[in-house]
Amino acid sequence: MIYKNYPMVSRIVFGRGSFNQLGDILEPKRKNDKAPFIFLVDDVFKGNSWLTARIPLAYKDEIRYVSAEEEPKTSQVDELVEDIILKHSERPSGIIGIGGGTLLDLAKAVSIMLTNRGSAVEYQGWDLVKNPAIYHVGVPTISGTGSEVSRTTVLTGPDKKLGINSDYTPFDQVLLDPELIKDVPKEQWFYTGMDCFIHCVESLDGTYLNEFSKTYGEKAFDLCKDIFLSDELTKEEAQDKLMMASWHGGMSIAYSQVGVAHALSYGLSYLLGVKHGVGNCVVFNQLKEFYPEGVALFHQMKEKHDIELPQNICAELDQNEFDIMIDVALSLEPLWENALGKKWKKKVTRQKLQELYQVM
């Protein structure tokens, strides 16, 4: 048995208002006045001075607003990298992603591609990155994906949606300021929060589970139950807890894997562009035969928060389109092996997946 030797986020700040310290944190990392810090910021914050006025800019530093309307693409990463190289005479001192999973993943990918040749497409997969990334910092403004702790950055390329999984992917620094998630709209809060809940269910129910993953997964699972089902928490407590649930949920899948919901959700995302959080919810809603207890809790949470999931999103699809989604889902072998064991191919058929998609 070979045990994996995992890298982790090397530094972490947690606290309400800790965003004010970003300047002090970055300062020692500046290489010189020509090597800028590039802030990739979700464009939902454009014109929001409560946040943007606290982004510490000096010398040639710049803010680039990026839309999170669509999930990150390999072509988008390539363009950003080329643009940064053309604009600045020196390699940046660092890349800082401020936003949700979309912006965090973009920041990770850009920091990798600034030191590795070619296109991001060439690095989708496991351990293909050769050179260490430049210094990169993650500041989540919505919680649940676990991207802030993970060893991957999920990108959609011309022929697949797959992460750049590497030892150079995790952030060098993460800043968790629960105040930053205060204005997330309720639906999105639920969808991204459920990403965390589903990570826990898939990890805790999986065959890859060990005590490392279990410990993190159970903590995150309990936090999610508190956040989404209890009436006792103040808004601030719920924000603090969700940030930590996302962290623990992400840690839980480091040593294990996600499962059936993520496999099917990747299919929806690839063909229809359905975003990760909502896609996971649409799929998980139909998975009671795989995760009976988790799905029952999910239904309670959905009802409590009055969430209406999109319906009939596969109603108009033809056979070819179902086949594309099924191919994407089945190509994610580690997810199925985690969910159903080594003999997973005997337990899941194309027909079964199609039936599941048809009711979504």
Q: How many residues bind ligand NAD (CB under 6 A)?
A: 30
- Locate tokens 């500046």: which residue? 30
Residue number with CB closer to Zn ion (105 or 195): 195
Residue number with CB closer to Zn ion (36 or 193): 193
Residue 152 lies near ligand NAD (rule: CB under 6 A): yes
d(CA 161, CA 277): 15
Binding-site member from 177, 195, 205, 240 for Zn ion (CB under 5 A): 195
Binding-site member from 76, 116, 153, 286 for ligand NAD (CB under 6 A): 153
CB of 182 to ligand NAD, least distance (A): 7
Secondary structure class of 47 (helix, strand, coil)? coil
Q: List all residues 6 or more positions away from 54 whose beta carbon is below 8 Å from its beta carbon.
A: 19, 20, 22
Q: Distance of CA 96 to CAs 137, 163, 274, 285, 293, Å? A: 5, 19, 26, 35, 39
Residue number with CB closer to Zn ion (116 or 256): 256
Both tokens of residue 38? 């590039």
Residue 148 lies near Zn ion (rule: CB under 5 A): no
CB of 149 to Zn ion, least distance (A): 12
Residue 61 lies near Zn ion (rule: CB under 5 A): no
d(CA 244, CA 178): 9
CB of 218 to Zn ion, least distance (A): 18
Both tokens of residue 235? 């808004």
Residue number with CB closer to Zn ion (61 or 202): 202
Residue number with CB closer to Zn ion (195 or 337): 195
Exposed/middle/buried for residue 26 (C-beta within 10 Å: 0-12, 13-18, 19+): buried
Residue 71 lies near Zn ion (rule: CB under 5 A): no
CB of 196 to Zn ion, least distance (A): 8
